[in-house]
């Protein structure tokens, strides 16, 4: 597994957090320099509190960081990036955005609606969105629209569901390929702009 010690990884879970069987938990255990954002209320997420907690985690360590977000965590990253300082934004090397939740959809669960409307500005760092052709939380069309709005690369997996425990993605080893692809892209970009 290819890793560099100068980059830290920050897991950004979605609604209800990531249980022990979730791929984010597995990744946290196997990636060096990896921590996760812990929210005070996983059941009733509040946008301002979730964004502030993400900001605190990024601000707490000056090393470059790769964000690994799932579902509502992706939306939290987008909201954070839309209002963060240039100094903190410059710490983010890239963001892997997996199965973003469409908080604007008609059947969106009530606790998530305070995350709408979704930010529509480009993320100021490299990003790759991984969606699914049959994700109940966001259609493939909506996932592609998020990627376009955020300036992210996009991969739509066939019949992968919400890319979580329920859809059979406990370890999700194949996801590392996209993480390292994103990291290589971000490294090349930072070298060109240095």
For residue 68, CA distances in Å to 12, 110, 113, 179 come to: 6, 25, 22, 8
Handedness of CA 43, 119, 80, 143 (dihedral sign): positive
Strands (DSSP E) contained in 13-169 are 34-36, 65-70, 92-98, 126-132, 153-157
pLDDT reported for residue 1: 44
Q: How far is 163 from 125, CA to CA, in rounded Å? A: 23
pLDDT reported for residue 58: 98
Q: How far is 157 from 135, CA to CA, in rounded Å? A: 10
pLDDT reported for residue 168: 85
pLDDT reported for residue 192: 55
Q: What is the pTM of this model?
A: 0.94
For residue 119, CA distances in Å to 1, 77, 146 come to: 34, 10, 9
pLDDT by 10-residue block (mean), the chain, 194 residues: 71 96 96 96 98 98 97 98 97 97 97 97 97 97 98 97 90 94 84 54
Complete domains list, the chain, with CATH: 8-193 (3.40.50.1820)
């Amino acid at each position: 597994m290819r890793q560099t010690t100068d980059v830290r990884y920050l897991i950004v879970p979605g609604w209800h957090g990531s249980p022990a069987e979730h791929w984010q938990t597995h990744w946290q255990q196997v990636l060096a320099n990896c921590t996760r954002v812990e929210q005070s209320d996983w059941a009733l997420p509040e946008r301002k509190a979730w964004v502030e907690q993400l900001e605190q985690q990024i601000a707490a360590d000056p090393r470059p960081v790769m964000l690994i977000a799932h579902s509502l965590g992706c939306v939290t990253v987008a909201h954070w990036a839309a209002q963060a300082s240039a100094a903190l934004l410059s710490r983010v090397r890239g963001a892997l955005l997996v199965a973003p939740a469409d908080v604007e959809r008609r059947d969106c669960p009530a606790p998530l609606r305070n995350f709408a409307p979704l930010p529509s500005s480009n993320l100021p760092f490299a990003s790759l969105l991984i969606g699914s052709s049959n994700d109940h939380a966001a259609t493939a069309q909506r996932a592609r629209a998020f990627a376009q709005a955020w300036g992210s690369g996009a991969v739509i997996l066939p019949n992968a569901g919400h890319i979580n425990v329920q859809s059979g993605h406990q370890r999700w080893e194949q996801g590392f390929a996209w993480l390292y692809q994103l990291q290589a892209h971000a490294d090349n970009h930072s070298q060109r702009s240095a």
